[in-house]
Amino acid sequence: MTDFRGGEVWLVGAGPGDPDLLTRKAERLMTEASVIFYDALVGEGVLALVPPHVRMVPVGKRSGRHSKDQTSIDRLIVEAALAGEKVVRLKGGDPAIFARSNEELEACRAEGISVRICPGITAASAAAADLGMSLTLRGLARRLTFVTAHALAGERVSLDWHALADPQATLAVYMGKAAARDVSAGLIAAGLPRDTPCALVEQASLPTGGEFLTRLDLLPIAARTALGDGPALILIGQAVGAAVLPQRANAYTGTVRASV
């Protein structure tokens, strides 16, 4: 049981999109809530599970599109909780991974509001599942790094490429589609082999998604040509060499997935 009381906030992971990948706890919290503030990344199938009496407030954040800024979202959550609502803040994937949860936790705690987290399946896990591969490989991929390649408009991504260019690591790059060129160039310059296996997975876990296998030096071309405008994750490393493309049609392009 979740003992969800009025005036409390739950940051809930909605998983990668497929409603079957939602936790039972997340589903229960969504049913018990009086209001749900949800991101643009939350899958339609997940939203369809919310009962009609729950007030739904989109606070979607997708790069390049109009959205509420983080401070406004913090304030909305706090005000709803102070008004005695049972507040769910529904986020794509896991709320503790690149989801600005800390701002919301701090905003709630500053007002003495009880705030808890319900974890969700993160995009990297869903992408690996779609590709039928393991993110770690005994002896070959001993480290798994989650990194965001999000850059402010007009700026280049600045990451510690030498620290990331570990041939024994799997890199899961979130928000990396626009920065694929910087990621590829940065890692190659830092010594990662040009033919390091890479995968691009768009809309992981959803039937409308797509997967592409490529190599590090061709990653920028693949990111430019192979993807639609859905959220996409980049996986890089030797573990990706064991990935297998699923046999299903790509709904975005109407073509069967291919290796680039």
Residue 23 C-beta: closest distance to ligand SAH, Å: 13
Tell me how far, at minimum, the Cβ of 120 lies from ligand SAH, in Å.
7
CA atoms within 13 A on the CB side of 63: 16
Sign of CA dihedral 227, 172, 23, 111: negative
Query: Looking at beta carbons only, is 41 or 59 nearer to ligand SAH?
Result: 41
**For residues 85 and 205, which CB has a smaller minimum distance to ligand SAH in the complex?**
205
Minimum distance from CB of 84 to ligand SAH (Å)? 28
Which residues of this chain interact with ligand SAH, rule CB under 6 A? 16-17, 41, 91-94, 97-99, 122-123, 126-127, 174-175, 201-205, 231-233
Nearer to ligand SAH, 85 or 182 (CB): 182
Beta strands in the chain (DSSP E): 9-13, 35-38, 55-58, 87-91, 115-118, 143-148, 169-174, 197-202, 210-215, 232-236
Q: Go through 77-95 and write b for each residue having 16 or more CB atoms within 10 A of its CB, e for each that does not.
A: bbebbeeebbbbbbbbbbb
**Minimum CB distance to ligand SAH, residue 70 (Å):** 13
Indicate the residue among 122 and 170 with the shorter CB distance to ligand SAH: 122
CB of 33 to ligand SAH, least distance (A): 19
Based on CB atoms, which residue is closest to ligand SAH, 165 or 223? 223
How much of the chain is helix, strand and coil, in % rounded to 5?
30, 20, 50
